Amino acid sequence: MSGVKVVELAALALGAALLVRTRAQLEAIVDVLVLFTIAADAVGVVQFLGGGGGRQASFLGEHDFAALATLPLLYGLALLPDGLRGRRAWLAIGAGALGCILGAALASLLGFYLARRS
């Protein structure tokens, strides 16, 4: 089952890379992912407060939650040098960081570290 999930994610990534041709199209996709991350963060915070702490799965599963949250976090950090999108960058960073914290998946943090190093 894991192999099928990896193939599915690779196909989605390839499709996104082929369909996104302009910066506006990329920002539209990222906007959807940021909104989805914010919704997952809200569910995760409610679960954290009601469930006594620990890793939170939200409605995705803790590893998928953290992996989803890593993308807006990296996107927001990439936007920081661009002074025109300051609010957008901080929103993406906040949503992504909260998702990574609530998901508490070490793999997403390792991926974040490796992405920042390259």
Q: What is the pLDDT of residues 28-57, one digit of tens each?
A: 888 888 999 899 888 888 887 777 666 666
Round to whole Å and give the CA distance between 60 and 40: 8
Q: How many CA atoms lie within 13 A of 19 on its CB side?
A: 11
| For the chain, percent of residues with pLDDT exceeding 90 | 8
pLDDT for 29 equals 85
Residue 95's pLDDT band (cuts 50, 70, 90): very high
DSSP-assigned letter for residue 24? H
**And the tokens for 70?**
């890593």
pTM to 2 decimals?
0.72
Contact of 111 with 73, CB cutoff 8 Å: no
